[in-house]
Structure 1
Amino acid sequence: MDTLTYRPRIVRRGLTYSFINIPPSSTTASKPYILFLHGFPSGSADWRHQITHFSGKGYGVFVPDLLGYGASSKPSDTAWYKGKDMAADLMEILDAEGIRGKLLGVGHDWGSFLLSRMANYYPDRFLKYVFLDVGYSAPGAGLSLQVLHFIDGMVKEKLGYSVFGYFLFFNEEDAGKLMDEHPDSTLSLFHSRDEELGKKYLGAQGGFRTWLSQAKTAEWPNYLTEKERAALLMHFSIENGGFGPATNWYRVQTQGLNEDDEKEIPKENYTLTHPTLLFTCQNFITKAADMAGQMRPLAPDFTVKETQAGHWIMLELPDEVNQELEGFFEK
């Protein structure tokens, strides 16, 4: 990643996006671009193993730092983070970069949500879709605070634990400040493979506030080197904007700001009309949601790859992910 060049581009909304754009190699110009979309708390660097692999195979690779991250703009107003608008931002940049061919779309976490909206609004711009851990998000599946509390109660009654404590915490006024004060606590917990720790301090309501207030830390996973951990901490440092802006991806949902836009999406665009692959992971939050079961009715050409990885599968199992992606892209 140290040798890759980021470029900025300002979109019509006046926002700046920073991104990596590696064109297809001249000897394999027929290979398409792959669009990689990251989630929270992360950034474009989380795709480093895929960038190296697929650019080396001759694919074009386009990897942005999404709104609220890295050198991209970090507006504080939640309304800037609407799915329709962010999807349009990326399409505008792709067009300006001369990337007008059909894309292979890959999303993880909130990147899966944005890929979902790009698929709804611009289905003709894609060849295939891939979702890692977090699956396709159909329009109209609102996550207001009331809905979150209702779902959380149902999950706790059925499975014995909560899953949305952290999501609710991000709607509290001092959430960003607390995370900025305890970046190691924040990032080590999100990367922890200790499921019981996650249930107690991420899933349970009030758990994440307790975790941060007590400055607890979890054991970092071995898929991150010391240098990579330091880079991730710097990525979310106060000097670089902290965690607060990125939590708007959560608040735009709880405030219902996507609902009017999503009502305008044609019903026929709810279905994913291109081949779709889902990687399932051993993540207590997504396991409770049964991502594959939710997606099947909306993805006629659907493949599921079950794995033993945690949430950060592209970092934990890069070779397996790259092999599966390559096979899916080329069949």
Structure 2
Amino acid sequence: MTESLYSEEECERVARLASLRYVKDTMPGITRQKQGEEFIYFKEGKPLTDANVLARIKKLAIPPAYQDVWICPYENGHIQATGRDKNNRKQYRYHPLWFKVRNQQKFTTMIEFGQSLPLIKRHISRELNKPAQLNRAQVICAIIYLLYHYNVRVGNAVYARQNKSYGLTTLRKKHLSLKRNKAILNFRGKNAKLWRIILSDSRIIKILKKCEEISGYELFKYVDENNSLTVVTSQEVNFYLKNITNYPFTAKDFRTWIACRETLCRLIRYNPCEDASDPFNDIIKQVSKLMGHTPAICQKNYIHPDIILSWKAESLREWANKNHDKIAHLTDDKILLLWLKSNKKRTK
């Protein structure tokens, strides 16, 4: 079971795509009660005897120590169970099909995301070039700048509170050090990864200084239309991205893009004349370190499966050789976009 870091909007959208029932654990469900070494399950206050439902519950493998366990009464519910672990953190068990569709969806909009990047970057640059203010647009644009350039997670308030690990929207003033011509962010991220980001862009530094000057321990805040201080949330960042691009992109799309970009470009720049060994595992390790994950998780959740397949089939090397002159004049973002478009044509 994993702690939910997904918004309700994303859960509902993916459930619909997977043809699953969108559910919440506030609705009536199945509960359990310990009796000796076993559990008895109840539905609508009566002991559950349906063998098929009991078999489904057994497959969920809900840890015995979990409290406040809720089990979905529907086999096709996008959430199958929730419970609280020993640290009172709410944990979720999702339907396998929901996870499968969600992982596929991460990669289906990559072309649109890559095509939208110039627009996003122009918009951010325009806002950051204005005099430093604590308005919503400029503070959120500073966050998006950091998402793109430093691959930091956007942050989740629940995760910060329960695990004392942080992302951009949950950073505290204590994580910021301001020097004469630079700003340093030091913090503990997810999976205990220690981040140390040294910033030299004067536009970002000016905004950070403004953020530090105002009251409250949160770092990224803005003054709203009512002259009240408002802490930026990950949902606001996602909503802002949607408004810029007219696509339902989220902050997570930056991490997927960066992982794919770094993997692809490092693979095609590998020179077999200099090293005869297969660089794939080493490159996955490098990218996983960048992402703050294990190589297995990085490969499974962040890297487009067709990048991996095309490398193993040696078609990626053929593509790179065929497009050598074109690639030589492209940025890494444009190289990935070119490959994505070529791959889409090839796999149609």
Q: TM-score, structure 2 length as denominator?
A: 0.23
| RCO higher in structure (CA 8 A, sep ≥6) | 1
Q: TM-score, structure 1 length as denominator?
A: 0.24
